[in-house]
Structure 1
Amino acid sequence: MASDLQTPLLEYLRHKLAIPTDALKMAVKFTEASMGSLPMVLWQYGLIDLQQLDEVLDWIDKRDINDVELSY
């Protein structure tokens, strides 16, 4: 599903916030295991700060991304 890192959210995180691909892969695994949302997992593990979390959530809100993409 999202393990190929091709969804718009993952592309945004890689290109806009410069989160390394390996860090995103790890976060996706944690998201799958905990059934949480990817932005929250990134923040909880210190991969993004609170300002970046807010930026990601604003981006998601503007794009109207569905829950499937947020909780791999």
Structure 2
Amino acid sequence: MDERVSAIVASSGFGAKLGDMIDVSEDRALWTLSPRPELIRNPLRPAPHGGAVTAFLELACKRRRRA
């Protein structure tokens, strides 16, 4: 992960949990939100926590804006 992406991820409360979902190469960044157990709030309805989804989108948008 490059310095710019690391700084953006560090600015988020969910950054530590989302940081490994970002794959940065020279000409692109691939963001993949995986529904890991620590991001699932309700085990009866296994969907990522809304805050995790929102943080993920915010981080991706910040990265795109700074590109």
Report the TM range for the smaller structure's normalisation: 0.3 to 0.5
Q: Which has the higher contact order (CA 8 A, sep 6+)?
A: 1
Q: TM-score, normalised by structure 1?
A: 0.37
**Higher strand fraction (1 or 2):** 2
Higher Rg: 2
